[in-house]
C-alpha cells in the first residue's frame, strides 16, 4: 500500500458530500442526546454481550446507567471497526481523545456528550461538520411524515408488512386502518399499497425497500390464487410453506406494479435470517445464511424491466453473484455493503469486483445508521477502502500492459460516481 497516495486520495474523496441512501434515522429525533444513546446501538450491545455475556439485558431506558455499565466492557471490543466508529464520534464530535475512554471516565464522557449533543443546534452543526446533503429513511406505511423536510430526508417505504407479515392479524388490521376499510380482496391489497405509495410520494419518497430472507423465490401467481390465499389468511388458517411462498411472490409483484406506476426504485436487501439468536440484545438476534441463491429473483427482474432494483446482499457468498447480475442485467444495481459485510474485508473485495466489471452504475455506500452521528465514521470506513482500492488501481495502471495510467483526477471521478452521481441517477435524487 502506497500510504502517501492513499492519504491523498482519501482526502480528495473525503471532500465529497455525503449522500446516504439508506439509514434508520428517526427524522423526528435524528441525533443522539447523549453517548448512552450512541452506545445503545446494537453494534455495541451485541458485541459486548458476545464478549461478556449479559443475557442480552441492558438498561436501555436509562442512557446514563447504560453508559456506566457498557463503558468498562468496551475494552473487550477494542479491536473492532465498530469501536473505531465510536472513537471517531468521540474525537470529532465530543473532542475527547480515544485514551479518555477508560472505565473511570464514564461520567465525564457522559456529561460531555450531553453538553454537546443535547443542544437544539446540534443537528445542524453535525450535518455541516459531516457534510451530509441527503439522508434516506426507513419508514412504515403508517409512519407520520407530516413536517418532514423533504429537501434533506427521503422517506422509504418498508414493504415487509405486505409480503412477509400478512398472516398476522394485527398487520392486516393495521393495513385496514390505513386503507380505511378491511383488506378482503386482492383489490383491497393493491389499494393499500397504492395508498402507501401515494402518501410517500407526496413526501418526496426515496424508494420502496425490503430486507428479504435467504432464498426468496419469485414466480407468477394468478390473482385468483392470491385471493384464495388471502381468504385463507383471513379465515385464520395457517398457510403451508408452498402457499407462503406463493403469497410472497404475489405480493412482491404487486409492489413492483406500484414502483412501476410511481416511477420508484425497489431497494432489495437480501439474505437475512431474523430472530435466530435466543439470548441476543434487541436488533442483535439476526444472522445470515451463506447458502443463498439469487436465482429466485430471475422472474422478478425479467418481469419488471422498467423497475430499478438497487440491491444489497448480506452474505459474502452472494457478492460475485450480485456483480454478475448487475454486469448483464440493466435493472440491477449493486448497492453498498450491508451489515455483516459492512467491514473492510468484504468492502475491499467487492469494491474491486464492482470497479472492474460493473459498468458505472454501482451505488457505493450507505450507512444504515440509527443516528446521524454514525454517518461520518461509517462513510469514512468505506472511503478509506475506496481510496486504497483506487490507489492500487493507479499504481497498477502504471505498469499494467492493458491500462493507460490512471490519474488522480480520474480516480476521484470514479469515487464521485460511486458516492454521488450513481445514487442520484439510479434512485433519482433531484438537485444532485
Q: Which of residues 323-352 bind a copy of itself (CB under 8 A)?
A: 323-331, 340-341, 343-346, 349, 352
Q: How far is CA 141 from CA 136, 146, 281, in A?
A: 15, 13, 26
* Alpha-carbon dihedral sign for residues 27, 32, 38, 40: negative
User: Which residues 390-409 are close enough to bind a copy of itself by CB under 8 A?
Assistant: 392, 395-396, 398-404
Query: Which cell is 208 given?
Result: 420502496
CA distance 157 to 167: 20
Query: Of 30, 27, 20, which is closest to residue 149 (Cα–Cα)?
Result: 27
Applying CB under 8 A, among 139, 384, 419, 420 the residue interacting with a copy of itself is 384
Q: Does 10 bind a copy of itself (CB under 8 A)?
A: yes
Query: Of 63, 157, 77, 13, which is closest to residue 371 (Cα–Cα)?
Result: 63
DSSP, collapsed to helix, strand or coil, labels residue 211 as strand
Q: Does 302 bind a copy of itself (CB under 8 A)?
A: yes
Q: Does 201 bind a copy of itself (CB under 8 A)?
A: no
In the beta sheet, which residues pair with residue 272? Answer: 288
Q: Does 244 bind a copy of itself (CB under 8 A)?
A: no
Applying CB under 8 A, among 23, 31, 139, 292 the residue interacting with a copy of itself is 292
Residue 81 vs 432, nearer CB to a copy of itself: 81
Q: Rounded to the nearest whole angstrom, what is the least distance from the CB of residue 252 to a copy of itself in the complex?
A: 17
Query: Of 415, 309, 329, 302, which is closest to residue 365 (Cα–Cα)?
Result: 415
CA distance 153 to 270: 24
Applying CB under 8 A, among 36, 155, 206, 280 the residue interacting with a copy of itself is 280
User: Which residues 176-195 are close enough to bind a copy of itself by CB under 8 A?
Assistant: none
Residues 6+ apart with CB under 8 A from 410: none
Q: Rounded to the nearest whole angstrom, what is the least distance from the CB of residue 109 to a copy of itself in the complex?
A: 16
Give strand ranges (E) for 56-173.
Answer: 132-136, 153-154, 157-158
Q: Does 301 bind a copy of itself (CB under 8 A)?
A: yes
Q: Rounded to the nearest whole angstrom, what is the least distance from the CB of residue 349 to a copy of itself in the complex?
A: 6
Residue 344 vs 428, nearer CB to a copy of itself: 344
Q: Does 260 bind a copy of itself (CB under 8 A)?
A: no
Residue 52 vs 118, nearer CB to a copy of itself: 52
CA distance 212 to 241: 16
- Interface map 352-371 toward a copy of itself (x if CB under 8 A): xx-xxxxxxx----------
Applying CB under 8 A, among 194, 257, 321, 421 the residue interacting with a copy of itself is 321
- Interface map 61-100 toward a copy of itself (x if CB under 8 A): ---------------xxxxxxx-xx-xx---------xx-
CA distance 392 to 4: 12
Q: Does 142 bind a copy of itself (CB under 8 A)?
A: no
Q: Rounded to the nearest whole angstrom, what is the least distance from the CB of residue 103 to a copy of itself in the complex?
A: 16
Q: Return the number of other C-beta atoms located less than 10 Å from residue 341's C-beta.
A: 21
Query: Which cell is 149 given?
Result: 423536510
Residue 204 vs 213, nearer CB to a copy of itself: 213
Inter-residue contact 381 to 82 (CB < 8 Å): no
Amino acid at each position: 500500500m502506497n500510504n502517501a497516495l492513499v492519504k491523498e486520495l482519501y482526502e480528495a474523496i473525503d471532500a465529497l458530500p455525503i449522500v446516504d441512501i439508506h439509514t434508520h434515522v428517526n427524522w423526528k429525533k435524528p441525533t443522539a442526546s447523549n453517548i448512552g444513546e450512541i452506545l445503545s446501538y446494537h453494534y455495541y450491545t451485541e458485541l459486548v454481550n458476545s464478549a461478556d455475556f449479559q443475557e442480552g439485558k441492558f438498561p436501555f431506558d436509562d442512557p446514563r446507567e447504560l453508559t456506566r455499565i457498557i463503558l468498562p466492557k468496551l475494552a473487550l471490543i477494542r479491536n473492532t471497526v465498530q469501536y473505531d466508529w465510536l472513537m471517531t464520534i468521540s474525537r470529532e464530535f465530543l473532542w475527547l481523545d480515544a485514551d479518555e475512554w477508560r472505565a473511570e471516565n464514564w461520567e465525564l464522557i457522559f456529561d460531555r456528550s450531553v453538553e454537546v449533543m443535547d443542544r437544539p443546534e446540534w443537528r445542524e452543526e453535525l450535518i455541516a461538520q459531516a457534510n451530509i446533503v441527503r439522508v434516506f429513511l426507513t419508514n412504515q406505511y403508517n409512519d407520520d411524515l407530516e413536517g418532514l423536510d423533504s429537501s434533506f430526508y427521503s422517506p422509504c417505504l418498508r414493504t415487509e408488512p405486505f409480503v412477509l407479515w400478512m398472516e398476522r392479524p394485527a398487520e392486516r388490521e393495521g393495513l385496514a386502518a390505513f386503507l380505511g376499510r378491511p383488506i378482503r380482496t386482492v383489490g383491497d391489497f393493491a389499494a393499500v399499497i397504492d395508498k402507501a405509495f401515494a402518501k410517500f410520494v407526496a413526501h418526496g419518497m426515496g424508494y420502496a425497500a425490503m430486507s428479504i430472507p435467504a432464498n426468496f423465490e419469485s414466480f407468477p401467481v394468478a390473482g385468483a390464487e392470491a385471493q384464495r390465499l388471502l381468504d385463507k389468511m383471513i379465515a385464520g388458517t395457517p398457510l403451508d410453506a408452498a402457499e407462503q411462498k406463493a403469497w410472497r411472490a404475489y405480493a412482491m409483484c404487486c409492489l413492483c406494479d406500484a414502483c412501476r406506476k410511481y416511477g420508484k426504485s425497489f431497494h432489495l436487501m437480501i439474505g437475512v435470517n431474523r430472530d435466530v439468536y435466543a439470548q441476543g440484545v434487541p436488533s442483535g438476534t439476526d444472522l445470515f445464511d451463506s447458502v443463498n441463491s439469487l436465482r429466485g429473483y430471475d422472474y422478478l427482474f425479467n418481469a419488471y424491466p422498467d423497475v430499478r432494483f438497487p440491491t444489497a446482499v448480506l452474505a459474502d457468498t452472494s457478492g460475485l453473484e450480485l456483480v454478475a447480475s448487475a454486469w448483464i442485467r440493466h435493472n440491477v444495481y449493486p448497492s453498498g455493503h450491508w451489515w455483516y459485510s459492512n467491514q473492510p474485508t468484504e468492502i475491499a473485495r467487492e469494491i474491486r469486483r464492482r470497479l472492474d466489471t460493473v459498468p458505472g452504475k454501482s451505488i457505493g455506500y450507505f450507512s444504515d445508521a440509527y443516528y446521524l452521528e454514525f454517518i461520518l465514521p461509517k462513510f469514512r470506513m468505506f472511503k478509506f477502502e475506496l481510496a486504497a482500492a483506487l490507489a492500487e488501481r493507479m499504481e497498477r495502471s502504471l505498469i499494467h500492459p492493458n491500462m493507460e495510467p490512471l490519474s488522480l483526477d480520474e480516480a476521484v471521478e470514479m469515487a464521485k460516481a460511486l458516492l454521488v452521481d450513481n445514487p442520484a441517477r439510479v434512485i433519482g435524487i433531484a438537485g444532485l
